[in-house]
Amino acid sequence: MSSSDSPVALVTGSAKRLGRQIICTLHQAGYRVIIHYHQSHKEANSLAGSLNQQRPNSAATLPANLLDSQALAQLASNALACFQRLDVLVNNASSFYPTPLAGATLDNWDDLFGSNVKAPYFLAQALAPALSENNGCIINMVDIHAQQPLADHSIYCMAKAALLMMTKSLARELAPTIRVNGIAPGAILWPSQQLAETDKAAILQQIPLQRTGTPEDIANTVLFLLHSPYISGQIIAVDGGRSLGAAQKA
């Protein structure tokens, strides 16, 4: 397959952290990649430059504020203009922070639902025709807390629960030409906010494998789903067994 025929993947929020690893893994697998970012332009451009050195004209960057409704449509249009095709949409971008009920605001609601539900939904809507042409895939980054609430994070958990149902709903609606799946990470990277060592230890106690995962674990699951043409409408937990619940002592 020539480089001009190789498949194209758009990954939102992919200048850093998990998104960056997904980009690198897909690029290594032969995909041309579109790195979306909001404010991390330096990291996005550095990543694209490195990937284009490995394989010319194989990586592009696109800025967009996913909370801006008009920017969503423009991002979709610009993504299609990059390589004149799209095979994969990975909805990775996500806001995450606590919202205790007593202090939760409408801005919190708009931010958490906007990044975790609204943006993935309307990007899927805008890009579905192009994805359908190539029997494409949508992969949504869900969360184990879509089904098991995290204390003081009610709005985030509700948004991820909506994304979980969106994944299943669109898998039905967009079949047979587009497959839609989700990945529910457990403890992969510690949050950007500082976490006490005691809190980290408490989380590790909830994980049967007794360790955190790696960004590669998530990126490899993305690749697995792309190479699994009979899987659709599924949410795969990549969490070391954490979603099994607390161990019961005899």
- Burial (CB < 10 A; 0-12, 13-18, 19+), residue 55, is middle
Residues 6+ apart with CB under 8 A from 91: 12, 119, 120, 123, 124, 138, 139, 140, 141, 163
Q: How far, in Å, CA of 232 to CA of 19, rounded? A: 21
CA 2 from chain centre, in angstroms, equals 28
Q: Are 198 and 109 in contact (CB under 8 A)?
A: no
Neighbouring C-beta atoms of residue 70, cutoff 10 Å: 9
What single-letter amino acid sits at 21?
Q
* HSE-up (13 A, CA, CB side) for residue 21: 14
Q: How many CB atoms lie within 10 A of CB 145?
A: 20
Of 55, 133, 54, residue with least CA distance to 88: 133
Single-letter amino acid code for the residue at 66? L
- Burial of 152: CB neighbours in 10 Å, binned 0-12, 13-18, 19+: middle
- 37 has catalytic annotation: no
Q: Quick count: other Cβ atoms within 10 Å of Cβ 97? A: 14
Q: Is 95 helix (H, G, I), strand (E, B) or coil?
A: coil
Which residue in 97, 121, 156, 230 is the catalytic one? 156
Q: Which residues are catalytic?
A: 156
